[in-house]
Amino acid sequence: MFDSEALTKVQSAILIAIIAVAAVGGSATYYLFVGNTSAKESIKIGVCSDLDMNYGKAVYQGVLLAAEQINSQGGILGRNLTVVAEDDDSETPPGDIAVATAALTKLLTVDKADYVISAAGYVQVYQDICSQHQKIFFSTGSLSDNDSQRVLDNYDKYKYFFRPQTNASAAIAGGIGGLLVLKNYTGFNKVAFLTEDLSFYSQWAEGLKVLLPKFGFEVVYSRLFPPGTKDFTSYLSAIEASGAQILDSAVLSESGFSLVEEYAERQSPFVMWGHIGLAAGSNFWALTGGKCDSISTVGYPVTAGYALTNKTLATRDAYMQRWGEVPNMVATNFYDIVRFVLPDAIKRAGTTETEAVIKTLETTNVETSSARHFVFTSSHDGYVAWAAPNVMSTDFLFYCTYQWQNGSQVPVSPKQLSLEAGTTYEYPSWKGPWSK
């Protein structure tokens, strides 16, 4: 088990039938039995997310596909998996914590889920409920250091929580590492931040602004914009006037389309880098009519179609065949948990008993679709290895950047990944500081 205290603080069978669908207290319950194993004998994987919305749907589809594949191979310790899901409406504005709490409580007390999986943002509320019921909880609903710090501060209560991705401090470190790689490519050091006004993104930008000058960067512009913004004229004009060479943007909503399209239409004289959530999707090129060419964003090997591990492309193909679409990061994260991480832990424990599985999860080291070695830190976060300030190990990979080039996403950071793939960074087709 790798220590991450520093990071934390700085930082079969085919599906046969849907057996029952019941509306209870505003949420829907889905019992999905695969094969002939009864619910009493099976291991129940509980999904608690907004099943009608993007992230919740992705969670559900990733988990169900993994369960189907596990069951087709004989299950785990001779027991099949049953997927049970509750709709918590967590992505439906304005959000209702009472509905979400009721959904999770029902999943645990009525549906009798053995393990809980969720992308809902109510992480600490769900931590408390799962702790009370002593059930292991896998979550990507937040990157907040505070969530996993609870594991370090009160292990006995919060040891049930595992996050199969980085925490905020690791994301900031990843942001610095990525910009250092870009600096090596370009020689550019003048950075502008344009950040959607969401709590995690604003904290991420603030952390980078404080630390980047120590690495030879000059922050020349920084602004937040409201979610849903469609006109970026004033922002891009100001960034151009600031003399920025790099726009480090963080956008989760559909504003990403508008920002990228306007950037290309203006032919702004700086390169675009950062985290544009939708730009990581496989259909972003088509949806922007190719205007995303040269845009670089944090991405995911399964979505990008880059064979990072021996399992990456097989997962991508299976998901596309089952669901007719390319899996996103959320779908892949939870597919990996149910397909590789949890079965490994249960098999090594020789039991599904919670305390024993927690101990084997803490010593996980398996190949998944997104990591050559998937391991958890002492705070139960996904582990990122930094070999040097601008070099990240590709063995423990949760933070990489892909650039759109001629309709494909190619890895450009970390540098080792680019070297492995035989790719390099490309500038926009119009004139800029790279023309000199």
Quick one: pLDDT at residue 385?
66
Residues 240 and 135 placed together within one structural domain of the fold: no
Residues 144 and 195 placed together within one structural domain of the fold: no
- Cα–Cα distance for residue pair 151/334, rounded to 1 Å: 21
Residues 126 and 232 placed together within one structural domain of the fold: no
**Full-model pTM:** 0.85
Supply the CATH number for residue 416's domain.
Answer: 3.40.50.2300
Going from the C-alpha of 380 to that of each of 1, 7, 148, 207, 363, the distances in angstroms are 9, 12, 7, 22, 10
Q: Which of 265, 288, 306 is nearest to 420 (CA)?
A: 306
Quick one: pLDDT at residue 256?
93
Domain assignment of residue 371, yes or no: no
- Coil/strand/helix, residue 67: helix
Residue at a domain's end among 320, 344, 362:
362
Alpha helices in 155-254 (DSSP H): 155-158, 168-186, 199-211, 233-242
Residues 271 and 214 placed together within one structural domain of the fold: yes
Q: 393 is written with which tokens?
A: 């190990």
CB 215 within 8 A of CB 186: no
- Cα–Cα distance for residue pair 122/130, rounded to 1 Å: 12
Domain assignment of residue 230, yes or no: yes
Residues 81 and 198 placed together within one structural domain of the fold: no
Quick one: pLDDT at residue 344?
98
Residues 231 and 101 placed together within one structural domain of the fold: no
Quick one: pLDDT at residue 415?
86
Domain assignment of residue 104, yes or no: yes
Domain assignment of residue 374, yes or no: no
Domain assignment of residue 315, yes or no: yes
Residues 103 and 30 placed together within one structural domain of the fold: yes
- pLDDT tens figures, 375-405: 999 999 998 765 454 556 778 766 789 999 9
Domain assignment of residue 380, yes or no: no
Which structural domain, as residue segments, surrounds residue 229? 169-300+388-435
Quick one: pLDDT at residue 222?
95
CB 284 within 8 A of CB 297: no
- Coil/strand/helix, residue 59: helix
Domain assignment of residue 54, yes or no: yes
Quick one: pLDDT at residue 383?
84
Task: Tell the residue number behind the tokens 């726009």, with chain if given.
Answer: 247
- Split into its structural domains, the chain has a count of 2
> What are the residue ranges in the chain where pLDDT is below 70?
1-40, 385-392, 397-398
- Coil/strand/helix, residue 40: coil
Residues 141 and 23 placed together within one structural domain of the fold: yes
Q: What is the mean pLDDT of the chain?
A: 87
Residues 279 and 339 placed together within one structural domain of the fold: no
Domain assignment of residue 69, yes or no: yes
Quick one: pLDDT at residue 14?
26
Quick one: pLDDT at residue 391?
59
- Cα–Cα distance for residue pair 66/331, rounded to 1 Å: 10
297 secondary structure, DSSP code = E
